[in-house]
Amino acid sequence: MLAGVSVDYYVRLEQGRERTPSAQVIDALAVALRLAEDGRRHLFRLAGLSPRAQVAVTGRVDPSLLQLMDAWPGNPAIVYNRAYDVLASNAIADALFHDWAHSRNLMHVVFTDPVARTFCRDWHEVARNSVAGFRLGHGEAPDDPRIRRVLTELLEGSPEFVELWARHDARGKALESKRFRHHEVGALTLTMQTFDVRSSPGQELVVYHAEPGSSSSEALALLGSLVATERQP
């Protein structure tokens, strides 16, 4: 009723028996479902009304971006692709994420690394957001072999992922805070900024920072000093 379509039409649309909805119908459904912009774009892609990304998942990171990340010794920074593979990270990010001892794929870290449940103090929220972001990337490039491989591994290896994947949430990362518990510097609350890497579509840059003067800022500074000490010859 809110979208201005009949119950019969909507049922046929959900069941896949109606395959040619108009852009006006999809837009009305997005409004009725109160979808954010990420969800709205995802719905349009599902209806075949917007082009899917043709750029394959790439492992190359722009050298100038790598230089920029290395210039932030006090701010953990990572670059990852649609498959959530971490393609690049600076030294303090490596220290924050325990030198990626388990995996350099963020989805594997969240769902298959037992340490993640204590490292991420809000694990359930992190898990929900990770699946929603992965769903968005999958919708942009569903035939990419790397994305399909990660999806298969998670569906076979994590009941929690299976449950969240079935919800069909789709949204990108935004400005948010994350709470960590690091084995060397203790508790941290870090704000996360996410940027699309325009030189490499499908890659995203994530940069973390702490509130100035906070205990998290002190913990992050301590982590940075530990990194600097370890790198000394």
Looking at residue 116, which CATH number applies to its domain?
A: 3.30.450.180
Are 103 and 179 found together in one domain?
Answer: yes
Q: Does one domain contain both 104 and 189?
A: yes
Overall domain count for the chain? 2
Rounded to the nearest 10°, the torsion over CA 16, 17, 20, 22 is: -80
Do 68 and 130 fall into the same domain? Answer: yes
pLDDT tens digits, one per residue of 44-81 = 888 888 755 555 556 789 999 999 999 999 999 999 99
CA 93 to chain centre: 16
Quickly state the pLDDT bin for 27 (edges 50, 70, 90). confident
Q: Which domain holds residue 24?
A: 7-46
Listed residue (215, 160, 210, 163) closest to 190, CA to CA: 210
- One domain for residues 172 and 200: yes
Q: Are residues 34 and 91 in the same domain?
A: no
- How does the average pLDDT of the chain come out, rounded? 90
The order of strands in the sheet holding 86-89 is 86-89, 77-80, 204-209, 186-196, 176-182
- Give the up-direction half-sphere exposure of residue 91: CA atoms within 13 A in the CB hemisphere: 17
- 102 shares a domain with 201: yes
In a domain, 143, yes or no: yes
Block residue for tokens 């999806």 = 151
Are residues 88 and 197 located together in one domain of the fold? Answer: yes
* Same domain as 168, residue 68: yes
